[in-house]
With several copies, the nearest count.
Chain A
Amino acid sequence: MDRDALKAQLEAIIYVSEEPVTLGQLEKALPEVTREELRAALEELVAAGRTPARGLEIRQVAGGYRMYTKTEHHEAVRKFVRSQKPPLRLSLPALETLAVIAYKQPVTQPEIKAIRGVDPESALATLLEKGLVVTAGRKEAVGRPILYRTSKEFLLRFGLKDVGELPTLEEFEELARASLGEPETSPAGEPPSEGSAEQTEAEAGNA
């Protein structure tokens, strides 16, 4: 393997590794390369990171090599990351609560609880905080409980013009049934979709 190819390979390996990569690990992974070659290539990689046009550098740390962004760009990086709208991530309890609100709105906390069987209090707080749900006055009932409905942000996030565009349960029922009844004809041994496993877990955590 020529020096360039080796450097490229090392760079790729250090990039994907979560932990600092040690010389020993690299020797094992690339048995056709000598320790000296490795060391020399790594040194060149480290040096290459020092050029001003590079925003990443490889540093020796904790007995191994690891990739870092350069300190001088931290401010820019931090600013950028902070300005990002991360993809919508919700825990399963929050998702369940959101689903109930979306389909039953406007709805009160006791009503959500009755449907979910679990008090939605903390999930509601999350949804309110993320701006996916807003309050919609009070219900004319005992205790005048607060009503909740989905927000404009909710519509934006899910690409809906209005809540009328939500798929009806019947529509998805058919699809879901088809996917359950008819096992995928894909190569056998496909594990059950990660979704359901995660779910069970989250549910357990939720109890």
Chain B
Amino acid sequence: MSSAGGAGENIVETHPSLHLDAYEGPLDLLLDLIRRQQIDIFNIPIAQITQQYLDHLHKMEQLNVEIAGDFILMAATLIYIKSKLLLPPDPTASPEEALDPRVDLVQRLLEHEKFKNAAQMLQQKQMLEQATWSKPDAAFAGEEGELVVTLWDLAKVFREVLARPPEPPSLEIHREEITVAEMMDEVRQLLRGTDAPVALVDLCRRHPTRRGLIALFLALLELVRLEAVIAVQSELFGPISLRKHKLFDVVFAGEAATEIDEQYN
């Protein structure tokens, strides 16, 4: 308890200068404050440390550094601990509640420090490892551009495939064989993720061939009829755009597209 009071006004003079942006989180900052001043972590002068911690947050504010919520939460925790230490012990409290309110924080700090040390050890091991060579490393360099694959690669690649803009039409690509069902599917892909309208002209450009345009036209007629898609024209002879309509999800959930396709075959 005594530590909560004025333990070290003298230390405040030698206020450690810290690089604010160097701290990854509140635990980092707090731990550094404690270690730099060689404070006994099992007897933290909470008042002093809280003040220093808050000073740092103020400095960050002045520097317009965006202060993460984690830092604020820690400030609140520190103030709470400080206030608890100032209160006389509650005689009715259970032994558990009567514990030093700093205990939890100390545990977290120690845990955090352990991993910081472990990280350093790992780095040393890695540097040592880098000084040795194993021959087949050469083979790892990727035979014929092949990759060793993890689940992360798989998920990442899928995201990228989905995000890929559709290929611009090219003369080499023969899209003549495209079916009405495929065309409907394409419209679905196009409109699925968005409520924004898509210009009909753009869609037509992607299918410059005669057969492609016919399939597109038939697909759109069907989709409009089924109320999966609505065609909008804001002014006479203005550009036509397509948008999801009320039955969009319903129509594409079923086999409507294939059924329709069969009618055209």
B119, B125, B156 — which one has the most chain A CB atoms within 10 A of its CB? Answer: B156
How far is it, in angstroms, between the C-alpha of A92 and the C-alpha of B181 when the chains are bound?
29
Contact: B151 with A167, CB < 8 Å?
yes
- Do the beta carbons of B42 and A183 come within 8 Å of each other? yes
Q: Does B235 count as interface, using CB distance less than 8 angstroms?
A: no
Per-position binary interface string of chain A over residues 35-78, scored 1 when its CB falls under 8 Å from any chain B CB and 0 otherwise? 00000000000000000000000000000001111110010010
Instruction: Please give, as numbers and ranges, the residues of chain B lying within 8 Å of A167 by CB-CB distance.
Output: 118, 121, 151-152, 155
Residues on B with beta carbons closer than 8 Å to the beta carbon of A92: 24, 119, 145, 147, 157
CB distance from B71 to the nearest CB of A (A): 10
Contact B159 A158 (CB under 8 A): no
Q: Is the CB of B142 within 8 A of A198?
A: yes
B227 at the interface (CB under 8 A from A): no
How would residues 111 to 147 of chain A score, 1 for a CB under 8 Å from any chain B CB and 0 otherwise? 1001111100000000011010011000011100000
Using C-beta atoms within 8 Å of the partner chain, give the interface range for chain B: 35 or more
**When the two chains form their complex, are residues A115 and B162 in contact, meaning their CB atoms are under 8 A apart?**
yes
Chain B residues with CB under 8 Å of A117's CB are 24-28, 70, 74, 108, 112, 164, 166-167
Which chain A residue has the least Cβ–Cβ distance from B136? A18
Binary interface encoding of chain B residues 141-183 relative to chain A, with 1 for a CB under 8 A from any of its CBs, else 0: 1111111111111111111111010110000000000010110
User: In the complex, what distance in Å separates the CA atom of A205 from the CA atom of B141?
Assistant: 18
B126 within 8 A of A: yes
In the complex the two chains form, is A173's CB within 8 Å of B114's CB?
yes
Residues of B within 8 A of A98 (CB): 119, 122, 154
Q: A83-B141, A142-B265, A202-B145 are in contact. Are A176 and B117 (CB under 8 A)?
A: yes
Find B150's partner among A17, A116, A151 (CB 8 Å cutoff).
Answer: A151
Q: Is B10 an interface residue (CB 8 A)?
A: no
Across the A-B interface, the 6 shortest Cβ-Cβ residue pairs: A118-B25, A117-B27, A99-B158, A74-B131, A159-B129, A99-B118
List chain B positions with a Cβ less than 8 A from chain A: 24-28, 38, 40-42, 68, 70, 74, 107-108, 110-123, 125-126, 128-162, 164, 166-167, 179, 181-182, 185-186, 189, 255, 258, 261-262, 265
10 A–B pairs (Cβ distance < 8 Å), ordered by A: A15-B135, A66-B134, A93-B24, A96-B160, A103-B115, A118-B68, A129-B152, A142-B258, A167-B121, A172-B118
Given contacts A102-B154, A117-B70, A172-B121, list 11 more A-B pairs with CB under 8 A. A12-B133, A74-B133, A81-B133, A99-B158, A116-B24, A128-B152, A141-B258, A158-B150, A175-B117, A176-B114, A205-B145
